[in-house]
Copies of this chain bind each other. A is one copy, B any other.
């Protein structure tokens, strides 16, 4: 298994896969992270051609773990040196990555992925082999995906301790706008609003601390994921602004925030009670397996142990 990019996610993945018994190796452009990884006993290199040549020779699963802007150049190098390798990624926006992969001619062996985890920190040093433990890891079930590659990506996610949520890339991106990108912008707005009020920080307690936690994330990372999902995020901003404006007007006109508060509470309760049944009934590669997985994932089902498939008979 070959990780390209050893930041928080890629670095954690190199650690987790190594711990799970994979013969895992990584590439990073910056030599400092490579030195730190090597010193810690991991197999890392800053020579991209050497790493890709090795990946091709070992028929390794390649994991793209670089920021979006670095992706096209990296994909071009893969197309040159390791075009036959199975390919996945760990990026927070799936549509844009799929477009870039398609443009590079690498779609056939690509299955998108997204571990729904992270911290406010970044870089190799912030990584942790346990980062993925218990987290949902989306594995894409778009129409083109290959059953064999899908099995490999599913196994990697499970071996890192995640539960796998199958989802289409477009549905993932709409949902990610709602549960990841919008919360970041609401946190930024809350922090900025309170920052202008004397005494606010002096009184701030749990609801402010929790409500602004993700505003501590490095601005570049927040921008990268929000801006790569601009269309979906705009829709979610529109919905939230409409709800808040409605509450503002209701407060001004008849002193009540009942409508928003009751709807929000009901949604949070539904979330708390959202079922997470085991997904057990689909065989990867059977007719309509992609649609069956997408539908199960939408309903909350998660994969906790490897599904049957091409290399794993039921």
- Point out residues on A near B: beta carbons under 8 Å: 116-118, 135-136, 138, 165, 167, 171-172, 174-180, 182-208, 210-219, 222-223, 226-227, 230, 233-234, 236-241, 243-245, 247-248, 251-252, 255-258, 260-272, 274, 297-300, 302
Complex Cα gap A260–B243 (Å) = 20
Which B residues are CB-close (under 8 A) to A243?
188-189, 192-193
Complex Cα gap A255–B96 (Å) = 14
Q: Which single member of B138, B177, B207 contacts A214 (CB below 8 Å)?
A: B207
Q: Which single member of B197, B213, B214, B264 contacts A188 (CB below 8 Å)?
A: B264
Cβ-defined contact, A167 with B203, below 8 A: yes
Cβ-defined contact, B193 with A236, below 8 A: yes
Q: Which single member of B172, B188, B198, B236 contacts A171 (CB below 8 Å)?
A: B198
State the majority secondary structure of interface residues on A: helix
Cβ-defined contact, A135 with B188, below 8 A: no
Q: Which single member of B178, B195, B214 contacts A197 (CB below 8 Å)?
A: B178
Cβ-defined contact, A213 with B210, below 8 A: yes
Cβ-defined contact, B216 with A265, below 8 A: yes
